[in-house]
Amino acid sequence: MDSNSTEGLTKAKKKSLLQKIFIGIIILLFAFSLGYFTISMISANYTLQSYNRTYGTSDDEASPVSFVPYHIAFLEARHTMSKVDSISLSVNLNDTIATLEMGGVVVFEAPLEGFRVSPLLRALKPEALSNLLRSPARVVSYNATIEKEPITVKQAPRDTTEAALDDDELPVVTRQAAFFTLHLDSGIRIVVMPHEEGGFDRLVYIARQNLYLFKQRLSVLFKGSLPEYVPIIMIEVSADDAKTLFRALPEHAQVALKL
pLDDT per position in the chain (259 positions), as tens? Answer: 555 556 665 766 777 777 778 888 888 877 767 776 777 787 788 888 888 888 887 655 555 567 889 999 999 999 999 998 899 999 999 999 999 999 999 999 999 999 999 999 999 999 999 999 999 999 999 989 888 775 555 566 666 666 566 555 555 555 678 899 999 999 999 999 998 666 677 788 888 877 877 777 777 777 777 777 889 999 999 989 999 999 999 989 999 999 8
In a domain, 99, yes or no: yes
What is the rounded distance in angstroms from the CA atom of residue 235 to the CA atom of residue 194? 9
In a domain, 194, yes or no: yes
In a domain, 164, yes or no: no
Q: What is the pLDDT of residue 148?
A: 79
Q: State the pTM of this model.
A: 0.76
Q: What is the pLDDT of residue 5?
A: 59
Instruction: Give the CATH number, domain containing residue 183.
Output: 2.40.440.10
Contact 209, 181 (CB under 8 A): yes
Q: What is the pLDDT of residue 78?
A: 95
In a domain, 70, yes or no: yes
> Which residues is 176 bridged to in the sheet?
none
> CB under 8 Å, gap of 24 or more: what pairs does 108-111 form?
108/244, 108/245, 108/248, 110/237, 110/238, 110/241, 110/242, 110/244, 110/245, 111/237, 111/238, 111/241
Q: What is the pLDDT of residue 160?
A: 67
Which domain range does residue 241 map to? 3-154+176-258
In a domain, 167, yes or no: no
In a domain, 251, yes or no: yes
> Which residues is 255 bridged to in the sheet?
89, 137
In a domain, 59, yes or no: yes
Structural domain tally of the chain?
Answer: 1
Contact 87, 81 (CB under 8 A): no
In a domain, 72, yes or no: yes
| H/E element, 91 | strand 88-92
What is the rounded distance in angstroms from the CA atom of residue 233 to the CA atom of residue 166? 44
